[in-house]
Amino acid sequence: MTIALDFGTCNTVLARWNPATRSVETLRLDRMSKTYIYHPPGATGERQSSVIPSLIHFGGKKGNLKVYVGAEVEDAGLTSHRGTIRWAKLDILRGNVRATRINDELITPRDAAELLIERVLLATGGLPDEDLILTVPVEASEAYEEWLKGSALRQFRGTVRVLDEATACILGYDTHVREGQVYVLFDFGAGTLDVSVVKTSNLAQGNEHPKVLGRAGEEIGGSLIDQWLLKEVQRSNDLSEDELADVGTALLFQVEDAKIRLSNGEKSFDISQLSDATGRLISHEFSSDDLRRILETPRPELRDRSLFQSVTRTIERALEEALDKYGTRKSDVKGVFMAGGTSLLLGMAGVVRNLFSDCPVHCEDPFEAIARGACRYAGEDISLTLVHDYCLRAWDAERKEVGHTVIVSKGTQYPTEKPVTVKYLKATCEGATKLGIVVVERSVMISPEPIFGVKDGIFQEIGTRRREETVLWELNPEDREFIHADPPCAIGSRRFVVGFGVDANRRLTLTLRDQEPDNHSFVQFKNGERIDLPVRDLPIVSLTRKKVGYRT
């Protein structure tokens, strides 16, 4: 199976591809997940999403830390505890490497995020060799991508792939997407606003991502709005900076809750917090009108614009880039897709709809769209094909050299419904009790090569020729002889019938039977796993590679 992980600043979402139903399932993890209920602007009724709060708490003593993750932190009442770390992703993206001392342990944002991802993936209960796809911002740095993949590989030994959030979001809203059209992706999270103008291309084949025509972003998000609300509480209660520091973390969670509830349709929300240092009760009532006023107030940190004005300007910048580079106009946009929790902010959908009055604006699935879309891409709901040949290495008696026999050719769509190649496996010596196969990936690299000669009395380049280079990768160097024959084989015997296919996780599969009557043959891998024959569609090797040679 394939799992997709959308690691967010405030919430993390997991999705799994179910090959039996050929559909995506959002994963809910015991203790770590919570159900988030929201009202999409313009939609009737409420929606639910299963999210994992991106929270991690470190308790206990040095050398024996007790760790809580996600909803476990909230359920234990530890969200405002000094041992709880949130917004780790935002710190990593901004390059903050400052460590926090918790119970005499120094913990950096990377330490916290890596452990959070590790615990979340471990709780999926999946096999470590399952495929995993990770989502990253359109212009995420290579360093961030490598860090994210490295964190995931602590639990997954299978293929780990990265998909940009623009592609994932489009696929998450798949029923509204058409081929060759222009769309705007509006991703507004806790830390950043990312607007992309994209054009779809070859989505049905799954071999090309949407083309980004224009993009603009700002470091504004839900966490910044929370700070504005917190300042409002400080001002109304005439709190000094020291008094605010004493209760600031607890108040921050309350103002965040106020923002969410007011955006979800409530008319007012009361905040109340007792200061342990002074014994003073700090309280404030926010109304939906108060929240709207705060969002419409110009801010120095936004170049004297309001939040709504900044959002509008960011969208316009992305559209201007699409027009300047590709001649794409706003009138070409066929739809807008909104993702990220802050896209549900009071009045935000109205701002976007005012800009795109001639096309639909979708904001019904802001939390799960990216993870679900990534899972669809990786889970073969979109048809994927192999781009290289997969071969068996064998001795060619006629040529007296090692050859490679294709068992699954490039262009094969996977997962395969049945073996695409069926062969007989022969023993190479009398009385053999073990038979081995060597799986090799083969690709051909084509490059032009200059031809030099004398022309007009000058030694110069006079043309080019096609240079082909065959590149070989061995896929199972440490686990070749896993077929055990009982009774032993006679040399040249055609006892074993073997078929090869590819599963949804892009693993070579083996279908094998021993035609010897009353045999007790089996397969046993290096990890000790033993399975009696016959076997059907047994994954034997991931189609990832270790280079073993070139041939020109």
Q: pLDDT tens digits, the chain, 552 residues: what are they?
A: 688 999 988 899 999 887 777 788 899 998 999 998 888 886 667 889 999 999 999 987 766 778 999 999 999 999 888 899 988 888 888 777 788 888 888 899 999 999 999 999 888 876 555 778 898 876 666 678 888 988 888 877 667 888 878 778 888 886 677 778 899 999 998 888 889 898 887 654 444 567 888 888 888 889 899 999 999 999 999 988 888 888 878 898 899 999 999 999 899 999 999 888 788 899 999 999 999 999 999 999 898 999 999 999 999 999 999 999 899 999 999 999 999 999 999 999 999 999 999 999 998 889 999 999 888 776 544 445 566 788 888 777 777 778 888 888 877 776 787 888 888 888 878 888 988 888 888 776 544 455 666 666 666 666 655 555 566 778 787 778 889 999 999 887 888 999 998 876 567 888 999 999 999 999 888 777 788 999 888 888 765 443 333 333
* DSSP category for residue 44: S
CA-closest candidate to residue 111, choices 90, 122, 97: 97
CA distances from 30 to 3, 15, 101, 125 (A): 17, 15, 29, 11
Is the sign of the CA dihedral 312, 317, 323, 328 positive or negative?
negative
CA separation for the pair 103, 59 (Å, rounded): 7
Check residue 544 and give its pLDDT. 45
Check residue 336 and give its pLDDT. 94
Maximum distance among all alpha carbons in the chain?
97
Q: Do 520 and 531 touch, CB atoms closer than 8 A?
A: no
Q: Where in the chain is the domain with CATH 2.60.34?
A: 386-551
Q: Where in the chain is the domain with CATH 3.30.420.40?
A: 1-173+370-381, 176-364
Q: What pTM, to 2 d.p., does this model score?
A: 0.64
CA-closest candidate to residue 232, choices 211, 265, 259, 206: 259
Check residue 112 and give its pLDDT. 93
CA separation for the pair 450, 429 (Å, rounded): 48
The residue written with tokens 């799994």 in the block is 16
Check residue 437 and give its pLDDT. 86
Check residue 503 and give its pLDDT. 77
Q: Domain spanning 1-173+370-381 has what CATH number?
A: 3.30.420.40
CA-closest candidate to residue 40, choices 372, 339, 344: 344
* DSSP category for residue 154: T
Please list, residue by residue across 185-218, b when 16 or more beta carbons sit within 10 angstroms of its beta carbon and e when fewer do: bbbbbbbbbbbbbbbbeebeebeebbebbbbbbb
CA separation for the pair 77, 274 (Å, rounded): 15
Fold of 176-364: Nucleotidyltransferase; domain 5 (3.30.420)
Fold of 386-551: Substrate Binding Domain Of DNAk; Chain A, domain 1 (2.60.34)
Check residue 408 and give its pLDDT. 87
Check residue 204 and give its pLDDT. 47
Give the DSSP H or E segment for 74.
helix 71-75
- Measured in degrees and rounded to the nearest 5, phi and psi for residue 451 equal -115, 125
Indicate the pairing of strand 160-164 with strand 131-136. Answer: parallel
Q: Which pair of tokens denotes residue 90?
A: 């935002």
